[in-house]
Each structure stands twice: as C-alpha cells, then as structure tokens.
Amino acid sequence: MSKSWVSLWGSEQVCVHDDYQKTADWLLSQTKHRPQVAIICGSGLGMLADALKCQDAFHYTDIPGFPQSTVQGHAGRLVFGELKGKTCVCMQGRFHMYEGHSLCKTTFPVRVFKLLGVETLIVTNAAGSLADGLKPGDIMIIKDHVNFPGLGGFNPLNGPNDDKFGPRFPAMSACYNPGLRCLAMDIAKQQGVAELVQEGVYAAVGGPNFETIAEAKLMHRLGVDAVGMSTAPEVVVAVHCGLRVFGISLITNKVVKSYEDRECVNHEGVLEVSKLRSHTLQQLVSELVSRMDVNNNTAV
Ligand SMILES: O=P(O)(O)O[C@@H]1C[C@H](O)[C@@H](CO)O1
Ligand SMILES: Nc1nc2[nH]cnc2c(=O)[nH]1
C-alpha cells in the first residue's frame, strides 16, 4: 500500500515495494513476454512501439496501480513484443510532474520494469535546443543530464530508501552507458544519418510552461544543450536500481534565447517535428536493440 511521507515541500505519496510488485505480477500473469529491454516513448514518439512483433498491449487504465497519461501525443498504452530478436516492453506515453503525478508515480513504471526482469532502459524525449549546433529535427544522444527539480529537492528517491532496489546514496556519474552511446553513433553512421546525430547534455525542468528568455540564457551559459520536462527522474530511479540506460532527445524546436527573436514554441509544433523524424528514430533504436548485448549489464 502506498504511504504518505512528509518532505521539505509538504506531504508526498511514496510507493512501497508491494505496489510495484503487484503491478509487475499482474503484467506477468497477462503476457508470456519476459522483456529484457524497456523503451519509454517521448512526446509524439509512440510509434517506436509499432516495430514490435507479436504484441500484447495494455491500456494504462487497465493496469492495476499504473498512473494515467493526460498529455496529447502520449497514448497511454504499454506494449510488449519482440524487436529484432529481443523481448521489449514499450511505454506509449510517459508521466510528467506537471500532470500532477507525484515523483514516485512519475517514475513508477521504471521499478515495475526492473521487477519484470528488464536490464536496459531506453528513454526518449522531445526537447528544445539551447546549443547553437542543434537544430529542429536533430537527434541528441544524451551524454549526461542536469536534473533541476532534483537539485531543488524534488527527487524521486526522496523518502525512506528501499534497499531492495538500491543504495541510499547512488552515484550518478555514469548514468548514460558509454558503450551504448558509442554503438548508437556507429549505427547512425551506417544508416547514413550521422549528420543529424550528436551527443549533448539534457536538462530537465518541471514545466509545463516553456522557458523564459532569461531561463534559456541561464541554461545555455551553464552548458545545457537541450531542455525538456521529463527523463531525468526516470533515469535517476533506473540507475538507482541498476538498470543500464541509453537516452535520446529529439530536438523539436530551438529555445528562444534573444528578446529580438519573435519565434514562439508550442506543443503542436513539438508533435509535428516528432512525427517527421519518427522513422529515423525507429530505425536507430531498432538497430541498437538488435545489436546490444542483453546478458551483460556492464558491457555493450
Ligand atoms: O515526454 P517528453 O519529455 O517527450 O515531452 C516534452 C516535454 C513536454 O511534456 C512536451 C512539451 O511539448 O514535450
Ligand atoms: N522545457 C522544454 N521542454 C520542451 N519539450 C520540447 N521542447 C521543449 C522546450 O523548448 N522546452
């Protein structure tokens, strides 16, 4: 049963081991698939699940304990299936803090994946670029992140630590697996899309508003390459419980950094660019899944 925990910021819901286990047990009773890889689809990127063969799909509304998706471009389905010889589970729709989910609900699926036997988590998102060399339609392989809500005390690991998942003070200095990043770069070259792909630092903010110009300038100065409203909390929880992580940001817009610039970002534009690049991203992720080693959590 989830419990209430009083934090610096007031009362928060925390989920306990039993909550994750119940959801995992239900899923294991409903599908024969035993996933090794989990994929979280960002805004407008749900089509990554279309490549899965022999699908078993569940609406979030039907999964006990699962939060619900409320954002356009996040279908709210969990899809199990085979992708190039690997068993995968794919979230068509993720949870964001700005929807009103507690951080434990935002990251709930990650621990469920761990209990399903997943070893590798692939996170994708739509993001705005701050780096001058990244333009809409580009693909950024996430090298590292800045978790702004986490720095301010909004961390999904707040509250009593569950030692069954991981340590009280987990290291975060190698969040994004170097071997998988390198493999993804090689695949991009082989697929002829290397000019679209580069590595960079992602920053997570709380949203749901897009950045002010002062905020954009601040993050640019701090060395952030792309900004979005998700991913970092999921990755913190994944690394805590020993999952290997690979992350991709699809750059859907540039973040306005000048008072003279009259461009204005909106969610519909974000979804449009996601759609345009969906095929390229699907090819890249499929090949990465195909070529990754799933039985050794430390190697590629
Ligand atoms: O789920 P992601 O991070 O891909 O979604 C991004 C951030 C906001 O939820 C939304 C803004 O358009 O896209
Ligand atoms: N915070 C933020 N999230 C995004 N998601 C897609 N584009 C953006 C952006 O420009 N800013």
pLDDT digits (tens, 9 = 90+) for 70-116: 988 878 999 999 999 999 999 999 999 999 999 999 999 999 999 99
Tell me the torsion sign for CA atoms 99, 80, 104, 249.
negative
State the complex-level ipTM.
0.99
Task: Report which of 23, 24, 4 is spatially closest to residue 13, judged by C-alpha positions.
Answer: 4
Looking at ligand 1, which residue's alpha carbon is closest to its atom 9?
A: 229
Of residues 98, 155, 158, 161, which has the active-site annotation? 98
pLDDT tens column, 250-290: 999 999 999 999 888 999 999 999 999 999 999 999 999 99
Of residues 20, 38, 74, 184, which has the active-site annotation? 74
Distance 277 CA to ligand 1 centre (A): 15
Is 98 a residue of the active site?
A: yes
Alpha helices in the chain (DSSP H): 17-30, 103-106, 108-116, 148-151, 178-190, 213-222, 232-240, 267-291
Of residues 147, 230, 249, 286, which has the active-site annotation? 230
Least confidently predicted of 9-13, 61-65, 69-73, 259-263: 9-13
Identify the pLDDT of residue 2: 54
Asked whether the predicted pLDDT for residue 8 surpasses 60, the reply is no
Distance 85 CA to ligand 1 centre (A): 30
Would residue 157 be called left, alpha or beta, if left means φ above 0 and alpha means ψ between -120 and 50 degrees? alpha
Listed by start position, the domains of the chain span: 3-291
Please list every protein residue whose CB sits less than 6 Å from any atom of ligand 2: 126-128, 205, 207, 210-211, 227-229, 252-253, 255, 265, 270
Classify 36 as helix, strand or coil: coil
For the chain, the average pLDDT equals: 93
pTM of this prediction exceeds 0.90:
yes
Only one residue has tokens 């609900």, namely 105
CATH number of the domain located at residue range(s) 3-291 in this protein: 3.40.50.1580
Identify the pLDDT of residue 93: 93
Distance 285 CA to ligand 1 centre (A): 19
Label the pairing between strands 244-254 and 120-129. Answer: parallel
What is the rounded CA–CA span in Å between residue 153 and residue 97?
Answer: 14
Identify the pLDDT of residue 143: 98
Asked whether the predicted pLDDT for residue 298 surpasses 50, the reply is no
Ligand 2 atom closest to the Cα of residue 228 is: 3
Looking at ligand 2, which residue's alpha carbon is closest to its atom 10?
A: 128
Only one residue has tokens 């960002």, namely 42
What percent of the chain shows pLDDT beyond 70?
94
Only one residue has tokens 């990244």, namely 134
Share in percent of the chain as helix, strand, coil (round to 5): 35, 25, 40
Q: Which residues line the annotated binding site for a purine D-ribonucleoside?
A: 211, 253
What is the helix (H) or strand (E) element at residue 251, kind and residue range? strand 244-254
- The DSSP string of 151-171 is HTT--TT-SS--TTT--SS--
Smallest-distance ligand from the CA of 267 = 1
Is 74 a residue of the active site?
A: yes
Residues 278 and 44 sit within 8 Å (Cβ to Cβ): yes
Beta bridge partners, 7, equal 10
pLDDT tens column, 110-162: 999 999 999 999 999 999 999 999 999 999 999 999 999 999 999 999 999 99
Identify the pLDDT of residue 14: 82
Only one residue has tokens 């006990």, namely 64
Asked whether the predicted pLDDT for residue 13 surpasses 90, the reply is no
